[in-house]
């Protein structure tokens, strides 16, 4: 009897841990997407609009006619993928815009080098470290 209670308690604990890990994965993935989108220099909105989230595999999907100057629609469009993210399955946040690396390296006057990936990732790492304490 006591052994059954222990097993049930352990199983409940494992379920709770998995749920918390999944929430954290989704939360930090959303934060990473927000930082990338918000850090993207905007002239036409094409590069900002082409941030996408996928689970398990890269999409490599560039849509040249897709525009988003504000960034909100791009984040909203990725919510389905973020909400279905699972522990053990890679979450990819990608941008297949042909000039995205140029923008990241300072090509645009609207953003400093590292404004989409390097600097936001540093901020995200710090946020995760602070949340873990």
Residue ranges per structural domain of the chain = 2-132
Enumerate the β-bridge partners of residue 93: 53
Distance CA 70, CA 41 (A): 11
Does the structure show a pLDDT above 70 at 133? no
Are the C-beta atoms of residues 127 and 68 closer than 8 Å to each other?
no
Q: How many CB atoms neighbour CB 96 within 10 A?
A: 15
Number of H helices, E strands in the chain: 6, 2
60-112: pLDDT as tens digits:
999 999 999 999 999 999 999 999 999 999 999 999 999 999 999 988 888 77
Contacts of 36 (CB under 8 A, 6+ apart): 51, 93, 95, 116, 117, 120
16-25: pLDDT as tens digits:
999 999 999 9
The 3-state secondary structure of 23-40 reads HHHHHHHHHHHHHHHHHC
Supply 32's token pair. Answer: 């990473």
Full-model pTM = 0.88
């Amino acid at each position: 009897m006591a052994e059954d209670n222990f097993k049930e308690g352990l199983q409940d604990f494992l379920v709770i841990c998995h749920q918390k890990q999944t929430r954290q994965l989704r939360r930090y993935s959303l934060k990473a997407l927000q930082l990338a989108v918000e850090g993207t220099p905007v002239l036409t909105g094409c590069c900002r609009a082409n941030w996408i989230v996928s689970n398990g595999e890269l999409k490599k999907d560039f849509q040249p006619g897709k525009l988003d100057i504000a960034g909100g629609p791009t984040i909203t469009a990725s919510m389905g993928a973020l909400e279905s993210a699972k522990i053990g399955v890679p979450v990819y946040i990608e941008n297949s815009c042909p000039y995205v690396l140029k923008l990241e390296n300072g090509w645009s006057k609207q953003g400093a080098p590292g404004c989409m990936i390097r600097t936001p990732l540093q901020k995200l790492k710090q946020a995760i470290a602070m949340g873990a304490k």
